[in-house]
Amino acid sequence: MTDTARARKLADRIQVVVAETLQRRIKDPRLGYVTITDARVTGDLREATVFYTVYGDEAERESSAAALESAKGILRSEVGKQTGVRFTPTLTFVADALPDNARNIDDLLDKARLSDAAVRTAAAGAAYAGDADPYKAARDDDEDE
């Protein structure tokens, strides 16, 4: 049986340890402005996935990914020292897609705002189609006689 609370606590601790170690110990020139956004640990506490973002263009993202892969051993040993678990989880670094998704959502929202504005301007000068009273009036029985 897995303890999800323990896995969450370990994931939070791994996130902090990796971020601090990247800031203080790793001096790789390929490493750009990296932000550790999240960490997730499997239920058996054997594997940890660390999500990160890099500020910059595609070349900086690729070089930072290579720097993280080369520093994986140092980061794992530091996680083992600071967490005190029996088995230090293996680290996997994954580029977080959250900024790209947020940018796409912002673009879609801008398109929706422009579309709403176009509908609003078209509706301002519009007139009703058909008669002023499009509903048929009820017939009176007196008129038929």
Q: Would you say the C-alpha torsion 43, 20, 33, 27 has a positive or negative sign?
A: negative
- Quick check: 16 and 37 in contact, CB under 8 A? no
Dist CA 94 CA 49 (whole Å): 7
Closest CA to 79 of 17, 10, 7: 17
Say if CB 100 and CB 51 are below 8 A apart: no
Return the sign of the alpha-carbon dihedral for residues 29, 32, 35, 38. negative
Nearest Cα neighbor of 80 from 54, 51, 45 is: 45
* Digitized pLDDT (tens) for each residue of the chain, 145 residues in all: 457 888 899 999 999 999 999 888 888 888 878 889 999 999 898 999 999 998 888 888 899 899 999 989 999 999 999 988 889 999 999 988 887 888 899 999 999 999 999 888 888 877 777 666 667 677 766 665 5
DSSP conformation class of 78: H
